[in-house]
């Protein structure tokens, strides 16, 4: 599949089946994370993989997104502001940008493997850090509930909507 087809076909899967995700697919998703570019190649990110029922339940308790509790695998992605590049002109810290690039690579790999996920930003990072103290120094950018799409999973009605290109792109 070419990249544009992949990008257009991927959608936020909010209904997952109970089918387990094979360990080799989890490894491929993590390989996509490690291959992601970061500012100055500082790699100031961490990916937490939650496969035990206990860890997944804890992660699910930080969000009202019910599908997280049904996922066979949950990933949390964060950036370490102490290790991230800082733009010298304004001091902007790229920890969240780098972690988002990593997450995007993972999200696209998930789809390419025939799995589904949704970028969950609607979670309580303070509660996540309380439940998982190893995340304390990180800026948490997202939670991914990953699994095989349920038979009746479908894109939202808004999936294919886009503002006109003229509003989104400007040639200078």
pLDDT attached to residue 1: 75
Number of Cβ within a 10 Å radius of residue 91: 7
Q: Is 151 within the bounds of a domain?
A: no
CA neighbor of 126 nearest in space, from 140, 112, 107, 145? 140
Q: Whole domain around residue 142: which residue ranges?
A: 14-146
Q: Is 105 within the bounds of a domain?
A: yes
Q: Is 168 within the bounds of a domain?
A: no
* Residues of the chain below pLDDT 50: none
| Alpha carbons 6 and 20: distance in angstroms, whole number | 23
- 121: Cα within 13 Å, side-chain hemisphere: 6
| Alpha carbons 107 and 75: distance in angstroms, whole number | 10
Our count of domains for the chain comes to: 1
Q: Is 56 within the bounds of a domain?
A: yes
| Alpha carbons 106 and 57: distance in angstroms, whole number | 22
pTM for the model stands at 0.95
Please, what sign has the CA dihedral across residues 141, 145, 149, 150?
A: negative
Q: Is 127 within the bounds of a domain?
A: yes
| Alpha carbons 122 and 143: distance in angstroms, whole number | 9
Give the pLDDT confidence of 63-76 residue by residue, as tens digits: 999 999 989 999 99
User: What CATH number does the domain containing 127 carry?
Assistant: 3.40.109.10
Q: Is 74 within the bounds of a domain?
A: yes
Q: Is 30 within the bounds of a domain?
A: yes
């Amino acid at each position: 599949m070419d990249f544009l087809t992949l990008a257009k076909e991927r959608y936020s899967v909010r209904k997952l089946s109970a089918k387990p995700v094979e360990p080799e697919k989890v490894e491929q998703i993590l390989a996509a994370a490690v291959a992601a570019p970061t500012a100055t190649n500082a790699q100031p990110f961490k990916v937490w993989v939650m496969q035990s029922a206990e860890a997944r339940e804890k992660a699910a308790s930080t969000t009202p997104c019910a599908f997280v509790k049904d996922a066979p695998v949950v990933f949390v992605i964060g950036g370490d502001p102490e290790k991230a590049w800082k733009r010298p002109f304004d001091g902007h810290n790229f920890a969240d940008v780098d972690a988002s690039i990593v997450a995007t690579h993972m999200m696209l790999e998930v789809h390419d493997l025939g799995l589904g996920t949704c970028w969950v930003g609607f979670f309580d990072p303070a509660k996540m850090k309380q439940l998982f103290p190893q995340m304390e120094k990180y800026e948490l950018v997202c939670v991914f509930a990953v699994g095989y799409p349920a038979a009746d999973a479908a894109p939202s009605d808004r999936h294919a909507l886009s503002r006109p290109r003229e509003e989104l792109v400007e040639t200078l």
